[in-house]
Structure 1
């Protein structure tokens, strides 16, 4: 296990794991296996995009961006990275995570406790959902929405009404794992960016356990990394069985597999 995750599992990274372990000397915490990032290709990413949500649908990428006064929703051509369509969000809102439900896109906001629903094709605003607390990441597992709020809990919500169905605490080797950010639901698992780190984690949403971790450090060169913000954004193309990952203000997006 990478040094950072060893420290994390030992309680060394207070912003990721805190509190007493749930394991004992007689029942040691299981080692969490790692997955490596295999880059298939890289393509341009808009360096003004403060990436918050990312998803793949029907040959296109959909991205939600943040920051007050510059949040938007956009459709991207994955062959070139070109923005094909976009709609600005009111300057009063800080855009966050994004999920698709049928022909609608649901975009969270950070502190406004509102989720905006847009039409998939025209990006026309159709309705608004209200929720308590902050909004960070969102994904659709096929039967429910999974939402993060920066804590160590994932909340499950109804696909149609956005009503809370339940929640689960997330743990890594028995420690609460906080700062769960952008989410992607894939094959019964939830992949999450861990905010302010180069790590992603694969979560079993039924038990709340982290089953794998992914160290995505080093994707950008030192020159490319100047002036950028953190890793954020995960999308999955089920046809190619590849992931797309990027970061806030990054100059590149990457098509990858985790192996």
Structure 2
């Protein structure tokens, strides 16, 4: 089989948000530090002092991040291997039998750079070029595919190995179809800017309901693990949804050791890692599901060179999008919008 070992340097976007203390002007205390709270790495420490504007005697100080107590001793705050992103430190100062609370904005980044991952192409299969692919997911040998664009948004169920088609369901205008995932006997589909998603019977693709986005504005990619549905929305956030109500309950934020990063598109979760297409790029991010750290990058630009362009090709938008994992074959299936092929690949981390 043809082996493609790719080298890639991805310029991560810097998301600059000013951070600083957020505390009551009448507070008798303030945080004094020379540390850059806008760029603090995991597994590091920050030096800061809590000082009194009055003659208070400080009895103790406790510091919390996302309601979890952190170690603060000798003016040193230890930042463990927590979720990266924009957060707020809660500093509780006990003095003269009174409790005073301060808040400090903080941005936590990874302590390690992202690395280049490898892949090997082991097969390719025909793909309909009229499909503006937005989501892929396997159940056995059945591949579910969602497509986008208003008036051309569908869900298909078919066998890519034999070409046999099982079901097809159209999403009526004005909706623009986006990512899909399956939970039990229900297929869940996002729409782009419709602020609404739809559900279908997995076996028949007949519509069964809809749901609203309660916090995010857009729908991009979907995947799931044993506990949550995961949803990207074009920002640095990936939302965690209740599988029962599809309500957005919490989120992780994506980034490297340099900055936070937007534009995660189609998603696939395998072994506690989120594999995410990068919008308008021929690349996939490998993300630690629990922390949001971008651990690796896969450069699939060589695959695009294997594509035959036809009348459906759009030079600006016919990009890589679509990633699904086949559990029995232990391989990933990769395609793009209006591509004439689906590639079966094996993915591996870099050798140490």
TM-score of the pair, normalised by structure 1: 0.90
Partner of 1:101: 183
Report if aligned partners of 2:272, 2:290 keep a CA contact under 8 Å in 1: no
Q: Which residue number corresponds to residue 210 of structure 2?
A: 128
Structure 1: gaps (5+ residues): 9-15
Q: 2:89 corresponds to which residue?
A: none
State which drifts further: 165-174 or 109-118: 165-174
CA contact (8 A) 1:193 1:201 kept: yes
Match of 2:298 in 1: 214
What is the CA-CA distance between 1:18 and the residue it aligns to? Answer: 3.0
Residue 63 (1) aligns with residue 152 (2)? no
Larger Rg: 2
Contact 1:38-1:257 within 8 A present in 2 as well: yes
- 1:75 counterpart = 2:164: no
The alpha carbon displacement at 1:110 in A equals 0.4
Q: 1:53 to 1:223 in 2, by over 3 A?
A: closer
User: What residue number does 2:343 align with?
Assistant: 254
Q: Do the aligned residues in 2 keep the contact of 1:53 with 1:234 (CA within 8 Å)?
A: yes
Instruction: Indicate yes or no: 2:228 matched with 1:144.
Output: yes
Query: Which shifted more, 116-125 or 76-85?
Result: 76-85
- Contact kept in structure 2, 1:246 and 1:254, CA below 8 Å: yes
Which of 136, 146, 153 is 2:237 aligned to? 153
Which of 13, 16, 19 matches 1:19?
16
Partner of 2:121: helix, strand, or coil?
strand
Greater RCO, CA 8 A, separation 6+ = 1
CA offsets 1:37-58 (integer angstroms, 9 cap, x no match): 2111001101000000100002
Tell me which residue corresponds to 2:173.
91
Instruction: Count residues with an aligned counterpart.
Output: 249
Instruction: Note the C-alpha offset of 1:81.
Output: 4.2
Deviations 1:144-164 (A, max 9, x none): 001000111110000010112
Q: Which runs of 4+ in 1 moved over 4 A?
A: none
Which stretch of structure 1 is more off in the superposition, 116-125 or 218-227?
218-227
Assess if the C-alpha contact under 8 Å between 1:43 and 1:253 holds in 2.
yes
After TM superposition, the structure 1 stretch with the greater mean CA deviation from structure 2, 172-181 or 102-111, is 172-181
| Equivalent residues of 1:140, 1:185 under 8 A apart | yes
Query: TM-score with structure 2 length normalisation?
Result: 0.67
Q: CA deviation at 1:166?
A: 0.6
Q: Distance in 1 between matches of 2:162 and 2:173?
A: 29
- Indicate yes or no: 2:332 matched with 1:243: yes
Provide the secondary structure at the position in 1 that maps to 2:125. Answer: strand
